[in-house]
């Protein structure tokens, strides 16, 4: 059954547009908080902002912070690295830059020889001081999902909303009493659907090489999904994953896109993933 929700004006952030459907009557109170939350997250954690905490850590390799959320994100990334048998590696900022996906979007492929960083070994957190021995932080694989969950908690705890939908560039969290239906967008033909799914009080995330890809100065087509073991872009693919939280769906969508068939089978056996 469809529920009647109010569409808010889209908010730009984290390289996409955020769409919100909320219960009527609260939008004037809620919209400024949503805008501020997305803006602050982007300012703090975007590797494309040279003043962000992420950029400062990547540049200086040591950073003292009074930001518990930043440390939470880093610790979560380490957990996911271990949980996915080292497939999900959020310290590959240098590898992305090497392939041309840098903060200036030059798409100029470089020949830098980079050692593979290990989040569990090369990222050290001692109280409020962070040490980065190797690699560079990039939250692109789970940051958006983390922010979706953060906003969901705000809408529930601060505004007591019982029904709402958050759609951040196709990564969706649906908090409704009754299941809602969503179309799965064709990865290359955006006006077409390859199916639909019903979810309630859960999330769906997608990961696709077709969303962010580019031709380098060397005539090669690259994308933003990197196999950590080859340190190169993966082959063309598109993945949809559902989970109880947006951050888990986001992370697993990235991981499954990179993993091979045997690894995917193992993940499905050991988790509650729906792929």
* Residue 212 confidence (pLDDT) above 80: yes
On whether residue 186 sits in a domain, the answer given is yes
Rounded to 5°, angle at Cα 168 from 104 and 253: 85
On whether residue 275 sits in a domain, the answer given is no
The pTM (predicted TM-score) of the whole model is: 0.94
Give the separation between CA 74 and CA 56, rounded to whole angstroms: 14
On whether residue 1 sits in a domain, the answer given is no
On whether residue 271 sits in a domain, the answer given is no
Chain length of the chain:
275
167: CATH:
3.10.520.10
Whole domain around residue 160: which residue ranges? 6-263
pLDDT of residue 271: 72
On whether residue 273 sits in a domain, the answer given is no
On whether residue 151 sits in a domain, the answer given is yes
Per-residue pLDDT of 45-75, as tens digits, reads 999 999 999 999 999 999 999 999 999 999 9
Rounded mean pLDDT of the chain?
93
- What's the total number of domains in the chain? 1
On whether residue 168 sits in a domain, the answer given is yes
Per-residue pLDDT of 115-146, as tens digits, reads 999 999 999 999 999 999 999 999 999 999 99
* Residue 275 confidence (pLDDT) above 70: no
On whether residue 127 sits in a domain, the answer given is yes
Question: What's the pLDDT band for 11 if we cut at 50, 70, 90?
Answer: very high
Among 24-33, 59-68, 106-115, 217-226, which range has the highest average pLDDT? 59-68
């Amino acid at each position: 059954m469809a529920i009647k929700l109010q569409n808010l004006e889209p908010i730009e952030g984290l390289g996409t547009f955020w769409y919100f459907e909320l219960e009527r009557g609260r939008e004037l109170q809620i919209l400024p908080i949503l805008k501020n939350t997305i803006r602050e997250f982007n300012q703090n954690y975007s590797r494309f902002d040279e003043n962000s905490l992420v950029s400062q850590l990547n540049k200086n390799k040591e950073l003292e912070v009074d930001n518990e959320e930043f440390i939470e994100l880093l610790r979560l990334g380490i957990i996911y690295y271990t949980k996915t048998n080292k497939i999900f590696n959020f310290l590959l900022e240098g590898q992305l830059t090497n392939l041309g996906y840098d903060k200036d979007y030059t798409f100029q492929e470089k020949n830098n020889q980079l050692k593979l960083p290990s989040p569990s070994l090369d990222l050290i957190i001692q109280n409020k001081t962070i040490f980065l021995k190797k690699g560079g932080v990039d939250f692109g694989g789970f940051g958006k999902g983390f922010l979706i969950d953060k906003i969901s908690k705000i809408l529930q705890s601060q505004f007591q909303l019982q029904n709402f939908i958050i759609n951040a560039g196709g990564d969706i969290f649906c908090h409704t009493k009754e299941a809602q239906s969503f179309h799965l967008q064709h990865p290359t033909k955006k006006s077409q659907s390859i199916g639909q799914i019903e979810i309630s009080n859960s999330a769906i995330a997608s990961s696709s090489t077709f969303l962010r890809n580019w031709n380098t100065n060397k005539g090669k087509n690259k994308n933003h999904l990197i196999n950590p073991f080859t340190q190169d872009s993966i082959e063309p693919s598109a993945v949809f994953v559902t989970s109880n939280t947006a951050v888990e769906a986001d992370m697993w969508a990235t991981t499954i896109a990179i993993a091979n068939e045997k690894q995917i089978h193992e993940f499905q056996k050991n988790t509650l993933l729906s792929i």
